[in-house]
């Protein structure tokens, strides 16, 4: 089928553009710019102050702009034409992509992908962390590879909280209030030409859900929104913030995502070939689809079997609190009428008791509705997000699944995460095409030619990325400490911190306690000796948010902040506020070492280490999540081994000691071992191994191919093609498979 799924939309913000520059409007409303730096540069030429302030082209174009200057600038006009030409070419060329020809062209419809959050870019605040960033990278890659694909999510007008850290180290939360008319999203248009609304019945009223569309290259992602005047004041906030805390409101949110999402797709006349639940938050889509089949005349069990046949599910966490559960009485009361059809004609009718039965958790507790268990029972295939996670997931969910949970390891969208200096080297010396990774061609296996990059140039590119981080971080620290009321002399100190010549460790992630962010502080004296060594110093940059309800996580932030201001560590340890995709890019591109020390095996995959590795940053990590399979012995370091002690404190201590030993005996010496030109040759060699061992294996290109072959094509009733033979063939579909 056509690789691009089309969602009709209504016009957006009413800014005026000179007719010669109309292309900017199309470009602004396509997140293509979020992974094409030259498109972002173009918007920063349009209005550099506006770009710096909003980092969002629609907001830039909504400002007042001196167009006559731009129209008179041949350099600007040439840049404009180049960017628009590449953009148009990108949108036109899908059918030529190897993945489309091999895997996607025989699909009858798109893959419908449901996720509660998407991380596309920092200025579209509808994500909280790794799950969202993975979903964003997945959608961008589906676009690059021309997989027919449509995403469904929620439009959070107040997003995830913005973090500040006060002078005592307390995390403060502020919720932004996005002006949707200035976001790069458009209202979807219904068949009647009006803004599309879909109904979701709640007890005693019918909620109206507005449907927005964010265009991600070729891929549309529908964002559902309850904050419209048609709804009662008390229902409008349902979609305001990510993972709202109140249980009933959360259930409403997940009904909007699952049920509203299916109805939005139907209202647009789209017929998916397969349905992918990325995480269990969207699981009500399965119930809604069963209800549809029953309304169409199928008996209940047959309806459930049909739903199961073309649905697939990804499980994302081995931490039990990460699996959503609701009290069955709440589900009965809130979702019962909707599912049962409430006696209304032609509404289908899926008895809520059957749904609750299918959602019984692996502990058999009949009082809880478990979204993960429900999703596992009603899907054709499921995967965990690393090989190690598949082992733990199969052990946990043994009683629920009928076939093994696959291990499809996460990846990253390389063009989003690799810094421009490094990317230029990969393209120049290796004939790489990061926009189109392809393992099967000689050009594609560019990572095997990594040794062709001259050491001085690899080092220079890395140092450029490091300097960019230093400049950015100093600015952030300055505004943080100015806000705390620090003296000008203290602020001046900050202008010379984060010397790029100093070995720099980065640690940034959610501050869930199992991630043990403060492990490095186990022995302060030993750490201080490392940091302040006269010839071979070390510095550490932290960033990360703790969930507003996670007090222990917030205490870890406070500990790090307090340590960073203590006399022993001050000037060598820093924590940046408000971790987001922008800070993540600076850090994964601009430190030397990426540290990750979770309590094994609680990290399902992790992706920030993959972003770092692709940039030649070296991972030092516990053998957990992706690193358990990514570590090759020569591409970084492993903290501890694969055995775990039953006593957590003993395990923490052992891991901390091993981390210090690695730093003292291996990492610091290798970094500071220089040749006469000042180059750390052994370190650069490790950087090369870091890049070459990960840039394909932990890319979303490889990941999406695996999803297609192992989950999407089977769910869509297609055989997985033999690459030598060309196109896939249709399978004989057996009933109720």
Ligand X SMILES: *Cc1c(COP(=O)(O)O)cnc(C)c1O
Between 609 and 721, whose beta carbon lies closer to ligand X?
609
Sorted by sequence, the CB contacts under 8 Å of residue 111 that are 6+ apart come out as: 142, 147, 148, 149, 150, 272, 273, 274, 275, 276, 712, 716
Work out how close the CB of 694 gets to ligand X at its nearest, in angstroms, rounded to a whole number.
13
Phi, psi (deg, nearest 5) at residue 234:
-75, -15
Dist CA 259 CA 338 (whole Å)? 9
Work out how close the CB of 22 gets to ligand X at its nearest, in angstroms, rounded to a whole number.
33
Interaction residues for ligand X, span 128-147 (CB under 6 A) = 129-130, 133
Sorted by sequence, the CB contacts under 8 Å of residue 664 that are 6+ apart come out as: 530
Dist CA 57 CA 274 (whole Å)? 33
Between 235 and 603, whose beta carbon lies closer to ligand X?
603
Is 584 near ligand X (CB under 6 A)? yes
Work out how close the CB of 662 gets to ligand X at its nearest, in angstroms, rounded to a whole number.
19
Is 506 near ligand X (CB under 6 A)? no
Q: Considering only residues 235, 580, 592, 655, which one is a binding residue for ligand X as defined by CB under 6 A?
A: 580
Between 221 and 262, whose beta carbon lies closer to ligand X?
221
Dist CA 460 CA 344 (whole Å)? 69
Work out how close the CB of 122 gets to ligand X at its nearest, in angstroms, rounded to a whole number.
8
The structure tokens listed for 649 are 């404190």
Work out how close the CB of 283 gets to ligand X at its nearest, in angstroms, rounded to a whole number.
22
Choices 35-43, 127-135, 306-314, 715-723 (CB under 6 A): range interacting with ligand X: 127-135
Work out how close the CB of 611 gets to ligand X at its nearest, in angstroms, rounded to a whole number.
6
Between 512 and 691, whose beta carbon lies closer to ligand X?
512
Between 47 and 580, whose beta carbon lies closer to ligand X?
580
Between 504 and 608, whose beta carbon lies closer to ligand X?
608
Work out how close the CB of 609 gets to ligand X at its nearest, in angstroms, rounded to a whole number.
6
Work out how close the CB of 634 gets to ligand X at its nearest, in angstroms, rounded to a whole number.
22
Choices 62-70, 364-372, 426-434, 573-581 (CB under 6 A): range interacting with ligand X: 573-581
Beta carbons of 145 and 117 less than 8 angstroms apart: no
Between 627 and 707, whose beta carbon lies closer to ligand X?
627
Dist CA 641 CA 636 (whole Å)? 14
Nearest to 557 by CA among 524, 523, 510: 510
Between 267 and 623, whose beta carbon lies closer to ligand X?
623
- The residues facing 673 across adjacent strands are none
Between 129 and 714, whose beta carbon lies closer to ligand X?
129
Is 414 near ligand X (CB under 6 A)? no
Cis bond before residue 659 (omega within 30° of 0):
no
Q: Which residue has the tokens 């209800």?
A: 291
Is 211 near ligand X (CB under 6 A)? no
Is 608 near ligand X (CB under 6 A)? yes
Between 514 and 653, whose beta carbon lies closer to ligand X?
514
Work out how close the CB of 323 gets to ligand X at its nearest, in angstroms, rounded to a whole number.
17
| Strands 368-370 and 325-327, sheet pairing | antiparallel
Beta carbons of 132 and 115 less than 8 angstroms apart: yes
Q: How far is CA 449 from CA 425, 694, 699, in A?
A: 12, 14, 18
332-351: b (≥16 Cβ within 10 Å) or e:
bebbbbbbbbeeeeebbbbe
Choices 305-313, 419-427, 553-561, 577-585 (CB under 6 A): range interacting with ligand X: 577-585
Choices 305-313, 322-330, 605-613, 698-706 (CB under 6 A): range interacting with ligand X: 605-613
Is 598 near ligand X (CB under 6 A)? no
Between 281 and 306, whose beta carbon lies closer to ligand X?
281
Dihedral sign for Cα 358, 359, 362, 366, please: negative
Is 581 near ligand X (CB under 6 A)? yes
Site string for ligand X, 718-737 (x = CB under 6 A): --------------------
Choices 88-96, 562-570, 607-615, 665-673 (CB under 6 A): range interacting with ligand X: 607-615
Task: Return the number of other C-beta atoms located less than 10 Å from residue 237's C-beta.
Answer: 18
Task: Return the number of other C-beta atoms located less than 10 Å from residue 556's C-beta.
Answer: 22
Helix (H) or strand (E) holding 313: strand 311-314
Task: Give, in degrees to the nearest 5, the angle at Cα 500 between 495 and 502.
Answer: 110
Length of the chain: 737
Between 311 and 317, whose beta carbon lies closer to ligand X?
317
Dist CA 659 CA 712 (whole Å)? 41
Sorted by sequence, the CB contacts under 8 Å of residue 344 that are 6+ apart come out as: none
Q: Considering only residues 55, 509, 547, 572, which one is a binding residue for ligand X as defined by CB under 6 A?
A: 509
Work out how close the CB of 130 gets to ligand X at its nearest, in angstroms, rounded to a whole number.
3
Is 587 near ligand X (CB under 6 A)? no
The structure tokens listed for 267 are 């209202």
Dist CA 196 CA 277 (whole Å)? 23
Task: Return the number of other C-beta atoms located less than 10 Å from residue 609's C-beta.
Answer: 29
Dist CA 253 CA 28 (whole Å)? 29
Between 211 and 512, whose beta carbon lies closer to ligand X?
512
Work out how close the CB of 127 gets to ligand X at its nearest, in angstroms, rounded to a whole number.
7
Phi, psi (deg, nearest 5) at residue 4:
-100, 120
Between 242 and 265, whose beta carbon lies closer to ligand X?
242
Between 158 and 509, whose beta carbon lies closer to ligand X?
509
Between 273 and 581, whose beta carbon lies closer to ligand X?
581
Work out how close the CB of 158 gets to ligand X at its nearest, in angstroms, rounded to a whole number.
18
Work out how close the CB of 278 gets to ligand X at its nearest, in angstroms, rounded to a whole number.
14
Task: Return the number of other C-beta atoms located less than 10 Å from residue 167's C-beta.
Answer: 13
Beta carbons of 668 and 530 less than 8 angstroms apart: yes
DSSP annotation of 710 reads I
Work out how close the CB of 583 gets to ligand X at its nearest, in angstroms, rounded to a whole number.
7
The structure tokens listed for 441 are 């061609």
Work out how close the CB of 366 gets to ligand X at its nearest, in angstroms, rounded to a whole number.
34
Is 543 near ligand X (CB under 6 A)? no
Is 636 near ligand X (CB under 6 A)? no
Choices 8-16, 575-583, 675-683, 720-728 (CB under 6 A): range interacting with ligand X: 575-583
Is 159 near ligand X (CB under 6 A)? no
Q: Considering only residues 50, 136, 260, 606, which one is a binding residue for ligand X as defined by CB under 6 A?
A: 606
Task: Return the number of other C-beta atoms located less than 10 Å from residue 521's C-beta.
Answer: 18
Work out how close the CB of 573 gets to ligand X at its nearest, in angstroms, rounded to a whole number.
19
Is 595 near ligand X (CB under 6 A)? no
Work out how close the CB of 134 gets to ligand X at its nearest, in angstroms, rounded to a whole number.
8
Beta carbons of 94 and 100 less than 8 angstroms apart: yes
Dist CA 55 CA 470 (whole Å)? 20
Between 94 and 616, whose beta carbon lies closer to ligand X?
616
Beta carbons of 426 and 434 less than 8 angstroms apart: yes
- The count of residues interacting with ligand X (CB under 6 A) is 13
Q: Contact residues for ligand X (CB under 6 A)?
A: 129-130, 133, 509, 579-581, 584, 606-609, 611
């Amino acid at each position: 089928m056509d690789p691009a799924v089309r969602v009709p939309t209504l016009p957006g913000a009413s800014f005026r553009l000179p007719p010669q520059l109309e292309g900017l409007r199309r470009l602004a409303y396509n997140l293509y710019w979020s992974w094409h730096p030259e498109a972002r540069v173009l918007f920063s030429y349009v209005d550099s102050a506006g770009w710096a302030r909003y980092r969002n082209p629609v907001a830039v174009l909504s400002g007042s702009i001196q167009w006559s200057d731009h129209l008179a600038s041949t350099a600007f006009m040439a840049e404009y034409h180049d960017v628009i030409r590449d953009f148009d070419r990108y949108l036109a060329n899908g059918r030529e992509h190897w993945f489309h020809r091999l895997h996607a062209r025989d699909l009858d419809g798109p893959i419908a992908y449901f996720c509660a959050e998407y991380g596309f870019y920092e200025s579209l605040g509808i994500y909280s962390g790794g799950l969202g960033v993975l979903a964003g990278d997945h959608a961008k890659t589906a676009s690059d590879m021309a997989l027919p694909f449509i995403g469904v999510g929620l439009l959070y007008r107040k997003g995830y909280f913005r973090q500040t850290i006060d002078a005592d180290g307390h995390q403060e939360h502020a919720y932004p209030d996005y002006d949707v008319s200035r976001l790069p999203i458009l209202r979807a248009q219904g068949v009647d030409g009006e803004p599309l609304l879909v109904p979701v019945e709640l007890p005693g009223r019918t909620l109206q859900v507005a449907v927005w569309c964010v265009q991600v290259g070729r891929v549309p992602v529908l964002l559902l929104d309850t904050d419209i005047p048609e709804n009662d004041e008390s229902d409008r906030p349902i979609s305001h913030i990510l993972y709202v805390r109140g249980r009933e409101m959360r259930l409403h949110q997940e009904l909007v995502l699952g049920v509203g999402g299916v109805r939005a797709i139907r209202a647009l006349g789209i017929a998916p070939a397969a349905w992918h639940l990325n995480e269990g938050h969207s699981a009500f889509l399965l119930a809604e689809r069963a209800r549809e089949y029953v309304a169409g005349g199928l008996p209940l069990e047959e309806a459930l079997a049909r739903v199961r046949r073309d649905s697939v599910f990804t499980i994302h966490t081995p931490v039990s609190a990460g699996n959503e559960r609701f009290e069955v009485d709440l589900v009965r009361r809130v979702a019962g009428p909707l599912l049962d059809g409430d006696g209304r004609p032609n509404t289908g009718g899926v008895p809520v008791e059957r749904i609750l039965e299918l959602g019984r958790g692996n502990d058999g507790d009949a009082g809880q509705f478990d979204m993960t268990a429900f999703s596992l029972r009603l899907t054709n295939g499921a995967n965990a997000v690393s090989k190690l996670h598949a082992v733990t997931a199969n052990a946990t969910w043994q009683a629920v699944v009928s076939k093994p949970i696959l291990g499809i390891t996460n990846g990253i969208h390389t063009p989003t995460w690799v810094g421009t200096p490094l990317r230029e080297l990969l393209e120049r010396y290796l004939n790489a095409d990061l926009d189109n990774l392809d393992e099967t061609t000689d050009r594609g296996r560019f990572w095997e030619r990594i040794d062709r990059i001259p050491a001085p140039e690899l080092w220079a590119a890395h140092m450029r990325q490091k300097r960019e981080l230093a400049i950015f971080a100093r600015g952030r620290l300055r505004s943080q400490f100015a806000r705390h009321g620090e003296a000008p002399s203290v602020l001046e100190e900050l202008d010379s911190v984060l010397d790029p010549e100093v070995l720099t460790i980065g640690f940034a992630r959610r501050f869930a306690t199992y991630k043990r962010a403060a492990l490095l502080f186990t022995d302060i004296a030993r750490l201080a000796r490392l940091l302040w060594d006269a010839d071979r110093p070390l510095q550490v940059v932290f960033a990360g948010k703790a969930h507003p309800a996670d007090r222990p996580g917030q205490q870890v932030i406070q500990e790090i902040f307090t340590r960073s201001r203590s006399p022993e560590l001050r000037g060598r340890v820093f924590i940046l506020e408000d971790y987001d995709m922008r800070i993540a890019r600076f850090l994964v591109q601009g430190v030397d070492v990426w540290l990750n020390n979770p309590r094994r095996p609680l990290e399902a995959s992790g992706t920030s280490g993959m972003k770092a590795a692709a940039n030649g940053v070296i991972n030092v990590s516990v053998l957990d999540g992706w690193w358990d399979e990514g570590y090759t012995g020569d591409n970084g370091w492993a903290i501890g081994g694969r055995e775990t002690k039953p006593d957590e404190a003993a395990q923490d201590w052992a891991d901390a000691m091993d981390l210090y030993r690695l730093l003292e005996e291996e990492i610091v010496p290798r970094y500071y071992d220089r040749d006469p030109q000042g180059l750390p040759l052994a370190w650069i060699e490790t950087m090369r191994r870091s890049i070459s061992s990960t840039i394909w294996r932990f890319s979303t290109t490889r990941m999406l191919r695996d999803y297609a072959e192992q989950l999407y094509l089977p769910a869509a009733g297609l055989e997985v093609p033999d690459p030598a033979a060309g196109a896939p063939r249709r399978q004989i579909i057996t009933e109720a498979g």
